[in-house]
């Protein structure tokens, strides 16, 4: 058990396009990302690292990633990335430098790795499946084996990052389209480590959400530019125009985890 306290910020679903004026869901993502970088760099507590839980861009093209890199490289902390359904692992490897880490695979089409900070263990999973199942996620058997190796009963505090929600969210459209298809297998693989697990953090749903099952906490961070609606009876994708962009700030402490979920104003 680590006796240190670490802090990290989570950003998600920036959906940066190829040009500064690109818009989506009624909003322009780039100014929101610029504002978020400014907010993070001026936090009263400096994060030990920042992690982006995927959908860095909307379309995986060089112009979009170059624009994203020009903004996100200004973050004054080590930055890590998760492969989203709008991303490709190869593009993230190519355009976006990351903090110190241990890659799980030499395959540039897989973005899965571990890193350690002050005695805490972090695992990043790649659940991007073939295009025909998009926007669902799917974990390969190799990724599930990795989880089984990492999620042992004994070891340092463990935190996992993935783009997609793992368990059903009681929203008709989200459960029909957004989940990790074999999420139940992932949950079972994590159960042996539940006493070590500090949280499974994801994006994709463009909402702040928390799900607790079998003592394991799953936490979604809202989008950095536009939020979906997720009411139980929603059957098609809805949007909540009144919700501001957001990020999360996480405190990992020896005996507890604290998660602050903050909004921030859009830059005009």
Query: What string of DSSP letters covers 140-175?
Result: -HHHHHHHHHH--SSSS-EEEE-SS--S--S-HHHH
β pairing state of 238-239 and 228-229 = antiparallel
pTM, entire model: 0.97
Find the helix or strand (DSSP H, E) in which 8 lies. Answer: strand 6-11
* Residue 1 in domain: no
The number of distinct structural domains making up the chain is 1
Task: Establish if 160 belongs to a structural domain.
Answer: yes
53 found inside a domain: yes
- From CA 242, how far away is CA 239, in angstroms rounded? 9
For residue 186, is it within any domain?
A: yes
- Asked if residue 12 is part of any domain, the answer here is yes
**pLDDT per residue rounded down to tens, the chain (268 residues):** 678 999 999 999 999 999 999 999 889 999 999 999 999 999 999 999 999 999 999 999 999 999 999 999 999 999 999 999 999 999 999 999 999 999 999 999 999 999 999 999 999 999 999 999 999 999 999 999 999 999 999 999 999 999 999 999 999 999 999 999 999 999 999 999 999 999 999 999 999 999 999 999 999 999 999 999 999 999 999 888 889 999 999 999 999 999 999 999 986 5
Tell me how far apart the 2 most distant CA atoms of the chain are, in Å.
Answer: 49
Tokens of 95: 């355009």
CA dist 55 and 239 (Å) reads: 17
**Closest listed residue to residue 158, CA positions, set 166, 147, 142:** 147
Which pLDDT value is given to residue 25?
86
* Residue 206 belongs to some domain of the structure: yes
Report yes or no: 105 and 72 within 8 Å, Cβ to Cβ. Answer: no
Tell whether 268 is covered by a domain: no
User: Which DSSP string do the residues of 13-65 spell out, in sequence order?
Assistant: ---B-SSTT--BTTB-HHHHHHHHHHHHHT-SS--SEEEE-S--BSS--HHHH
Nearest 5 degrees, angle CA 231-CA 244-CA 53? 80
Range of the domain at 199: 6-263
- The four Cα atoms 175, 176, 182, 186 give a dihedral, to 10 degrees, of -10
Domain CATH code at residue 158: 3.60.21.10
């Amino acid at each position: 058990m680590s006796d240190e306290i670490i802090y990290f910020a989570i950003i998600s679903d920036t959906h940066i396009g190829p040009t500064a004026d690109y818009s989506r869901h009624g909003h322009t993502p780039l100014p929101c990302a610029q504002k978020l970088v400014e907010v993070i760099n001026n936090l009263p507590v400096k994060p030990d690292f920042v992690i982006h839980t995927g959908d860095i861009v909307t379309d995986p093209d060089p112009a979009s990633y170059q624009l994203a890199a020009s903004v996100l490289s200004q973050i004054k902390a080590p930055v890590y990335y998760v492969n989203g359904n709008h991303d490709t692992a190869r593009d993230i490897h190519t355009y976006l430098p990351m903090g110190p880490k241990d890659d799980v695979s030499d395959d540039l089409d897989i973005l899965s790795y571990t890193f350690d900070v002050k005695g805490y263990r972090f695992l990043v999973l790649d659940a991007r499946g073939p295009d025909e199942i998009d926007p669902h996620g799917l974990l390969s058997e190799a990724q599930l084996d990795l989880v089984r190796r990492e999620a042992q009963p004994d070891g340092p505090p463990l935190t996992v990052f993935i783009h997609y929600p793992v368990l059903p969210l009681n929203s008709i459209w989200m459960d029909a389209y957004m989940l990790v298809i074999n999420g139940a297998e992932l949950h079972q693989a994590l159960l042996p480590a539940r006493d070590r697990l500090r949280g499974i953090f994801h994006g994709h749903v463009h909402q702040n959400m928390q799900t607790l099952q079998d003592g394991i906490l799953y936490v979604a961070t809202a989008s950095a530019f536009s939020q979906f609606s997720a009411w139980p009876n929603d059957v098609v994708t809805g949007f909540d125009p009144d919700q501001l962009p957001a990020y999360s700030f996480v405190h990992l402490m020896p005996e507890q985890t604290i998660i602050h979920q903050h909004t921030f104003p859009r830059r005009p």
